[in-house]
Amino acid sequence: MAQELIELEEEEFTSQLTAPVFRRILTLLKPHWKWVVGFLVTIMLTSVLDAYFTYLNKEIVDVGITLKDRSALIRIVWTYGIFQLLQAGFVFIFIYLAGVLGERVQYDLRKLLFNHLQDLSLSYYAQNAVGRLIARVTSDTGRVSELLTWGVVDTTWAIMNITTSVIFMAIINWKLALIVFTIIPVMVMIAIQFRKRILVEYRVTRRTNSKITGAFNENFQGVRVVKGLLREDENTKEFQQLTSTMYRSAYRAAWLSALFLPTVQIIAAVALGLIVGYGGTQITLGHMTIGGIMAFVSYLTFMMWPIQDLARVYAEMQHSIASAERIFKLADTPPEVHDRSDAIEAETLMGEIEFDHVDFYYEDRKPVLTDFSLKVKPGEMIALVGPTGGGKSTLVNLLCRFYEPREGVIRINGRDYMDYALASIHSRIGIVLQTPHLFSGSVRDNIRYGRLNASDEEIIEAAKIAGAHDFIVTLEKGYDQGVGEGGNLLSVGQKQLISLARAVLARPELFIMDEATSSVDTLTEALIQRGMEALMKGRTSFVIAHRLSTIRRANRIIVIENGKIAEQGTHAELLRQRGHYYRLYTQQFRHELETQYGLADAVGAKEEAPEEEAMAAD
């Protein structure tokens, strides 16, 4: 839903064509210029032949029938037939070229955007909703490629068609052609006006439509409340207002469309009336033939379509250009976190890690970490605890160099970590997120994500270490079982086990884990604990900890509140202080024991949903 709304909002924007944007749009066609030339030439030839056929029809009447010249008739028909075959060939070529080129341009743009998105920093993702980015890659690229291919095809065809028709008419009788020539701009103007008005209604329709879908959705999801509060009648009445708006704009759009062609046709008919009246006089004077009149009728009748096409392309063009601008804007955004030009390879992360007076805030400029200092010895296990929003996730984000400090330095092995190449840091980090993210594909694929060239044996080995093997083999297809979109066919605990195995396989030097807040069943829980333990052995690790067992195992517990270290020390030290940690601990202790003794189960307490942590905000 949200996605749909965002997309709609953006559709409102239209842009006028400016030279730089136009030039840049054209450069998209540059690599495929042969194709462009190909379809332009064939569409032109097609269009010329269309006009020529009408001319041949005139010849059949004037030369064949009027003069009763059978041989001429046969000659004309042969020409007609041969050109028809030829035209079919052209049609084949231009549909194929333009269509495939459209697909190709979309392919190119999508590739460009996707690849660029991979390089962009987390800060960009924090500022742009995923729905919006998806719209950029899917629908915006579609609109631009549509403009570049079918838009160009329609425009070329329309202009060529009108031009050649006018030329042929001028050849037949230039005075009459002049009448046609003057009404064409009028027809085009009217057509554009119609199109614009129709487009306005379409926009209202689309916006209302998403509201209608929203109303349906809400009413289905909240049906219990609706029934409990007897809100049915009121809801229907409110809904009827939406459908009334929808009805009005959809109906208006439809009848405007229905009015559009007849209007243009009637203008053409006036021209036709003039031509027939005036042309008749010309015939009697010998300046015009019956076939000529017939040709004029045809030319005028079939001028509707090119005019309609021109109006449509013109109206839609403004949206396509807005799309193009958005695409270019994304493509031009530089990644915030990037390698320095003299970046060196980080040999190892197994060294001292130091936060030296680090300040950090996100784009909203609200301070998250202030003057934060911390030294961690290699192999140490650090448990981060504290309230949501205190700065734990930010600390991890900085550590992974998803973001860089605004002030202060983070040192690894005594060297500013911004001196290292990003890839060399990332390839040595293993991370398990609170809401584990898996990709569609098999269990095996997901574990292999940790090290792409790992053998199947190594994958099984990693799964065993992480404690995931036992449950995987109980799956119907074992390691080849599909996990569903985002892994949603598995439970949270299972997802976490797989992401642990993935991290094991990566053989990281620095291990980071954000424990899930929601409890999983006791067995899985034990497995996860064992897996974590195995992973942390001999590695420096940071755990955003919620489980007592994890917290107790840590070498050092750091309580983070309001962007600062509130307390730090070992479990016993902190408990004796009777401060923040004491409170957090007792609360969690109670909670865990309630679960352990089956109390929560006995009273049917619902598992609290894991609080989704926003990407940027802590």
Partner 1 sequence: MTTIEPTLTFDFRKAIDENRLKGIWKMMVDYRVPYLAATASLAVSALAKTLTYYLLLRYFADDVLTQGKYIGNSLTQTFIWIGLGFVGLALVEGSFSYLSGRLAAYTAEGITRRLRDFLFDHIQRLSFSYHATTPTGDLIERVTSDVDALRRFFSEQGIGMGRIILLFVINFIAILNLNVRLGLVSVIVIPFMLLVSLWFFKKVTKRYEEYQAQEAILSTTLQENLTGVRVVKAFARQEYEKSKFEKDNWGKFLKGKLLLFMHSMFWPLSDIVLGLQMLFGFVYAATMAINGVISVGDYIAYVGLVVWLIWPIRNLGRIIVSASTGMVSYGRLMEIVRQAREPLFDGKVQPEGPVQGELVFEDVSFMYSDGKEDVLKNVSFTVKPGQAIALLGSTGSGKSSLVNLLPRFHEYTSGRILLDGVDLKDYSRSYLRKQIGIVEQEPFLFSRSIRENITYGVGREVSQEEVERAAKAAAIHDVILTFPDGYNTLVGEKGVTLSGGQKQRVTIARTLLKNPRILILDDSTSSVDTETEAEIRDALNELMENRTTFIIAHRIQSVMIADLILVLDKGEVIQMGTHEELVSQMDGMYLRIYDIQTRIDEELEMEISRVN
Residues contacting partner 1: total by CB under 8 A: 155
Count of CB atoms within 10 A of residue 102's CB? 21
CA–CA separation, 527 and 523 (whole Å): 6
CA–CA separation, 160 and 364 (whole Å): 54
By CB under 8 A, tell whether 276 contacts partner 1: yes
In three state form, how does the secondary structure of 47-97 look?
Answer: HHHHHHHHHHHHHHHHHHHCCCCHHHHHHHHHHHHHHHHHHHHHHHHHHHH
By CB under 8 A, tell whether 497 contacts partner 1: no
Smallest gap from residue 330 Cβ to partner 1 (A): 12
For residue 404 the two structure tokens come to: 């860089």
Among 402, 403, 479, 581, binds partner 1 (CB under 8 A): 402
Among 237, 341, 366, 453, binds partner 1 (CB under 8 A): 237
By CB under 8 A, tell whether 433 contacts partner 1: yes
Nearest alpha-carbon partner for 304 in 269, 273, 277: 269
Helix H or strand E segment including 388: none
Cross-strand pairs, 356: 409
Per CB under 8 A, contacts with partner 1 among 20-79 are: 57, 60-61, 64-66, 68, 70, 73, 77
Type of residue at 55: Y
Q: Identify which of residues 54 and 155 has a Cβ nearer to partner 1 in the complex.
A: 54
Are 541 and 531 in contact by the 8 Å Cβ rule? The answer is no
Among 41, 566, 575, 617, binds partner 1 (CB under 8 A): 575
Count of CB atoms within 10 A of residue 603's CB? 8
By CB under 8 A, tell whether 234 contacts partner 1: yes
Choose one: 108-116, 303-311, 319-327, 471-479; the region binding partner 1 (CB under 8 A). Answer: 108-116
Count of CB atoms within 10 A of residue 485's CB? 10
Among 183, 297, 304, 534, binds partner 1 (CB under 8 A): 297
Smallest gap from residue 16 Cβ to partner 1 (A): 29
Among 37, 186, 254, 344, binds partner 1 (CB under 8 A): 254
Helix H or strand E segment including 151: none
Smallest gap from residue 81 Cβ to partner 1 (A): 6
For residue 411 the two structure tokens come to: 């040192």
Smallest gap from residue 615 Cβ to partner 1 (A): 7
Among 18, 217, 373, 555, binds partner 1 (CB under 8 A): 217
By CB under 8 A, tell whether 616 contacts partner 1: no
Among 91, 200, 409, 566, binds partner 1 (CB under 8 A): 91
Choose one: 30-38, 83-91, 183-191, 348-356; the region binding partner 1 (CB under 8 A). Answer: 83-91
By CB under 8 A, tell whether 311 contacts partner 1: no
Smallest gap from residue 565 Cβ to partner 1 (A): 21
Smallest gap from residue 605 Cβ to partner 1 (A): 4
Among 376, 506, 513, 551, binds partner 1 (CB under 8 A): 506
Q: Identify which of residues 321 and 515 has a Cβ nearer to partner 1 in the complex.
A: 515
Among 18, 127, 182, 236, binds partner 1 (CB under 8 A): 236
Instruction: Write the binding mask 4 to 23 for partner 1: x where contact by CB under 8 A, - elsewhere.
Output: -x------------------
Among 8, 29, 41, 125, binds partner 1 (CB under 8 A): 125
Q: Identify which of residues 86 and 473 has a Cβ nearer to partner 1 in the complex.
A: 86
By CB under 8 A, tell whether 442 contacts partner 1: no
Q: Identify which of residues 215 and 475 has a Cβ nearer to partner 1 in the complex.
A: 215
Which residues neighbour 227 within 8 Å (Cβ) at sequence distance 6 or greater?
none
For residue 419 the two structure tokens come to: 């001196």
Q: Identify which of residues 403 and 479 has a Cβ nearer to partner 1 in the complex.
A: 403
Among 122, 172, 177, 384, binds partner 1 (CB under 8 A): 122
- In this structure, the chain runs to a length of 618
Which residues neighbour 457 within 8 Å (Cβ) at sequence distance 6 or greater?
none
Nearest alpha-carbon partner for 553 in 420, 433, 380, 313: 380
By CB under 8 A, tell whether 159 contacts partner 1: no
Per CB under 8 A, contacts with partner 1 among 320-379 are: none
Question: Can you state the angle between helices 70-119 and 152-172, rounded to 10 degrees?
Answer: 160
User: What separation in angstroms does the CA of 465 have from each of 34, 92, 370, 460, 492?
Assistant: 57, 60, 38, 9, 19
Among 246, 385, 500, 558, binds partner 1 (CB under 8 A): 246
By CB under 8 A, tell whether 231 contacts partner 1: yes
For residue 614 the two structure tokens come to: 């926003």
Per CB under 8 A, contacts with partner 1 among 455-494 are: 485-486
Cross-strand pairs, 532: none
Which residues neighbour 364 within 8 Å (Cβ) at sequence distance 6 or greater?
none
Q: Identify which of residues 177 and 321 has a Cβ nearer to partner 1 in the complex.
A: 177
For residue 284 the two structure tokens come to: 């009697």
By CB under 8 A, tell whether 617 contacts partner 1: no
By CB under 8 A, tell whether 150 contacts partner 1: no
Nearest alpha-carbon partner for 386 in 610, 550, 563: 563
Smallest gap from residue 19 Cβ to partner 1 (A): 30
CA–CA separation, 74 and 87 (whole Å): 20
Nearest alpha-carbon partner for 76 in 88, 58, 98, 90: 58
Among 47, 87, 524, 541, binds partner 1 (CB under 8 A): 87
User: What separation in angstroms does the CA of 329 have from each of 147, 316, 508?
Assistant: 18, 20, 36
